[in-house]
Amino acid sequence: MAFFNEVSKIRYEGKESRNPLAFKYYNPEEVINGKTMKEYLRFSVAFWHTLTGSGSDPFGSGTMQRPWDGKAGIELAKERALAMFEFCEKLDIPFFCFHDRDVAPEGETLAETNQILDEIIAVIAERKKSSDVKILWGTANLFSNPRFVHGAATSCNADVYAYAAAQVKKAMEATAALGGENYVFWGGREGYETLLNTDMQLESDNFARFLQMAVDYAKEIGFKGQLLIEPKPKEPTKHQYDFDVATVMGFLRKYGLESYFKMNIEANHATLAGHSFQHELHLARINGVLGSVDANQGDALLGWDTDQFPTNLYDTTLAMYEIIKNGGLHSGGLNFDAKPRRGSFEPIDLFYSHIAGMDAFAKGLKVAAKLLETGDLENFINERYGSFRYGIGKDIVEGKTDFKSLEQYALKNDRIINASGRQEMLEAILNRCILEV
Ligand code: XLS
Ligand code: NI
Ligand code: NI
């Protein structure tokens, strides 16, 4: 059964092509730095946006026209699961990601909900046998149902906490059963609105206990995938606990959980936290916790998670720069946590938007590889910090100084000479690379 009949397999036609249903830069088998583009980029489709997203917003109902319109319940869930495979295959996208509640509807009770989920997971597992499409990560939706009004693992209600644990247990089992390569924790409503009613200390401690139980359970069921935490500073709660990479690292270190988790970094969450996408990737990379990426972009004029498809070449280039320096994404990938705008409501817009994002990252990969090959930025930085390779700088780096010895040095050397940071010259080098590649 085909869902997207008007589209056949999308092919690479090169940058001269004017065909909107062709790749201009994404050439899956092209080798960059010893790896194919497909291996480097590890693209993934987000089930929640692409298959279940309706286009509704706070002011109006859904606008999306989809091949499965008119279906409901389990039948709808099955159609969407099958459509996901066709969609990925047509775009040559090797992975998809899902929440438990995207792929299957909830039943009346938790037991019934679990049973429905099992039924759909079996459909996915069966279809997977005849496909190369794999699961990048699974996760649990601990935010949509009204029971999570005060959070899940940070709820004030112990019954909700237990329910959330049961749900994550099941979602981990489902992810493991499908061979998922990672499991993600996005702290949906893990945060608070006001300290007038919140015991932040208890909520943090409980959150850490929850994550420890998840670590233990993953081990118990032999789940080998990487556990990931996805930072986000706000929305839906005013103060989300997993604010950004630095905050999450501090939290994990406080509770001795740092060796079990890496980060799933979302571009639009970085900008909501007042950081650039590259900042978050870079910080994670130098701390060995760059795990995976939710590839989207926000709008600088809007203060919320607009989840747009990534088309900004500066951002994709600098992201790929970090990813190449990270030695690739390892078990992670570039998951399009992005949705076409509400006005782009036809099924074919799903193809246009993924092609736009894939080409933007493929171009970013090529430019970043070129930038690294020329060494222009690396050499500049290397030289900029040259003073730490000899004399007093070398002593500082080797831990051989103290305040007294540094004072002695400074007293004899107060004619300090600084060099220009050359920001604009470097920005022009970046521009030249984008235009040339
Ligand atoms: C929401 C998050 C969410 C996670 C998965 O802002 O990005 O979609 O990626 O729960
Ligand atoms: Ni996300
Ligand atoms: Ni998001």
44 vs 418: CA distance, rounded Å: 46
CA of 141, closest atom in ligand 1: 10
User: Could you tell me if the CB of 100 is within 6 A of ligand 1?
Assistant: no
86 lines ligand 1 (CB under 6 A): no
Question: Which atom number of ligand 1 is nearest to the Cα of residue 49?
Answer: 8
Instruction: Answer whether 139 contacts ligand 1 (Cβ < 6 A).
Output: yes
In the reported structure, the alpha carbon of residue 118 is separated from the centroid of ligand 2 by a whole-number distance in angstroms of: 24
Is there a contact between 308 and 296 (Cβ–Cβ < 8 Å)? yes
Please say if 102 is a catalytic residue. yes
Tell me whether residue 99 is one of the annotated catalytic residues. yes
Q: Give every CB contact of residue 39 below 8 A, 6+ residues apart in sequence.
A: 328
Q: Residue 315 pLDDT more than 90?
A: yes
Q: Kindly give the distance from the C-alpha atom of residue 231 to the centroid of ligand 2, in angstroms, as a whole number.
A: 9
**Atom 5 of ligand 1, residue of closest alpha carbon:** 186
How distant is the alpha carbon of residue 320 from its chain centre? 13
CA–centroid distance, residue 359 to ligand 2 (Å): 20
Q: What is the mean pLDDT of residues 286-299?
A: 98
Q: Virtual CA dihedral for 197, 200, 206, 208, nearest 10 degrees?
A: 150
Angle at which helix 347-374 crosses helix 376-384, to 10 degrees, equals 50
Q: For ligand 1, is residue 230 a contact (CB within 6 Å)? A: yes
Residue 60 has pLDDT above 90, yes or no: yes
What does the DSSP assignment read for 14-74? -TT---TTEESS--TT-EETTEEHHHHH-EEEEHHHHTS----BTTB------TTTT--HH
Distance 269 CA to ligand 3 centre (A): 6
**Rounded average pLDDT over 341-358:** 98
Residue 114 confidence (pLDDT) above 90: yes
| pLDDT band per the 50, 70, 90 thresholds, residue 18 | very high
pLDDT over 90 for what percent of the chain?
100
Residue 342 has pLDDT above 80, yes or no: yes
> From the CB of 242, is ligand 1 less than 6 Å away?
no
Mean pLDDT of the chain: 98
**Range 51-73 average pLDDT:** 98
Angle (deg, nearest 10), helices 423-436 and 376-384: 160
Average pLDDT over residues 160-173: 98
Atom 3 (ligand 1) nearest CA: 186
Give the pTM. 0.98
pLDDT confidence tier of residue 1, bands split at 50, 70 and 90: low
User: In this structure, which amino acid lies at residue 166?
Assistant: A
Ordered DSSP codes for 317-328: HHHHHHHHHTTS
Neighbours of 42 (CB within 10 A): 24
Q: Which two tokens stand for residue 234?
A: 């706000």
Catalytic residue of the set 49, 92, 100, 102: 102
pLDDT at 69 (0 to 100): 98
- Cα(118)–Cα(52) distance, integer angstroms: 19
State the pLDDT at residue 277.
98
- Centre of ligand 1 from the C-alpha of residue 186, in Å: 6
Instruction: Answer whether 307 contacts ligand 1 (Cβ < 6 A).
Output: no
d(CA 195, CA 147): 21
Q: Compute the half-sphere exposure of residue 244: CA atoms within 13 Å on the CB side of its CA.
A: 18
The single residue of 49, 99, 275, 279 carrying the catalytic annotation is 99
Probe ligand 1: pick from 99, 184, 230, 265, max atoms within 8 Å of CB?
230
* 231 CA distance to ligand 1 middle (Å): 9
**Could you tell me if the CB of 23 is within 6 A of ligand 1?**
no
369-420 residue pLDDT tens: 999 999 999 999 999 999 999 999 999 999 999 999 999 999 999 899 999 9
- Find the mean pLDDT for residues 109-127: 98
Q: Is the CB of 305 under 6 A from ligand 1?
A: yes
Q: Detail the DSSP E strand segments found in 203-253.
A: 226-230, 239-240
Please state whether beta strands 31-32 and 22-23 pair in parallel, antiparallel, or not at all (unpaired).
unpaired
User: Residue 138: helix, strand or coil by DSSP?
Assistant: strand
Give Dmax (Cα) for the chain.
Answer: 81
Task: Using alpha carbons, select from 124, 122, 219 the residue that is nearest to residue 172.
Answer: 219
Pocket test for ligand 1, best of 45, 232, 234, 306 (most atoms within 8 A of CB): 232
Does 186 sit in the ligand 1 pocket, CB within 6 Å? Answer: yes
pLDDT surpasses 80 at 255: yes
pLDDT at residue 274, rounded to an integer: 97
| Ligand 1 neighbourhood includes 266 CB (under 6 angstroms) | yes
